[in-house]
Structure 1
Amino acid sequence: MKKATKAILLAGVLTLSLPVLAFRGGMGDGFDGRHHDPMQKFERMSLMLDLTDEQIAQVRPVIEQQMKDKVERHNRKDSMRDLRKAIDNGASQAEIEAIADKAASAVKQRILDRAKVMSAMNQVLTPEQKEKLEKLKSLRENRMSRHMKH
């Protein structure tokens, strides 16, 4: 009798878990299984690199500031939407160039923000952690290149 109860309970738990896993994209954070939250990515990386509390305390503020700034800026989709709307309304070349300049400025800022985080990480990592990070990057690049071929 106990075995039957346990089996029914386990089946119920598994059945209830399936929609949650399907919605979360399996083991990932998004529908497609990718991780987009920079803090989650940082937390995973800090575990993989075995960062000390001091190292985390030095890098976390940089990432948090980057996240705040990112929310305040427009993304690429906004620029493309603005461009389509301007063209539909018969925008002049100068108006189109202004939209392009705004998009280019946003890209430049994202690169500068990324450089701040990379620099902060580079300053706090030990040589062993840097080596491990390079291996992780290589693995990620290999995974991405295999995915891009399909």
Structure 2
Amino acid sequence: MNKVELESHLEGLTNEINFLRQLYFWDTSVVLSVDNSHSLDLDGIIVEVKAQYKEIANRSWAEAETMYQIKYEELQTLAGKHGDDLRHTKMEISDVNQNISQLHAEIKGLKNQRAFLEATIADAERLRSVMGSWCPSRLMSYPSEQPA
């Protein structure tokens, strides 16, 4: 390329750079003017956010309190039911223990009666053997076998 072409190319590029600079400044000034036209009320936003947070916190607290009350009442009901079941079971155990005591007493009485009957049988057998030696023919036969 020769010098004239290069100068012409340089001039074209310089014009393009100047055009792009003007365009960039114009776009930037439009954006800045738009941004400056909005005034942010940060204090109002903070107050609004705090109010929303407070409302959410109050709602959450109320829900938690309600859930706590429901759970507390359920546990109270369950504790009452278990208390009743426990009392009923204790009464059943008491009844069973009383029955066991009565059965032990009855067994003891029956053992005493058995011992008494065994002693009576032993005495009767001894008496029979003693009487048999005195009067063997009469005692050897039972009353149903005796002649009339």
Structure in which a larger fraction of residues adopt helix: 2
**Bigger Rg, structure 1 or 2:** 2
Higher relative contact order (CA 8 A, sep 6+): 1
Q: TM-score, normalised by structure 2?
A: 0.24
TM-score, structure 1 as length reference: 0.24
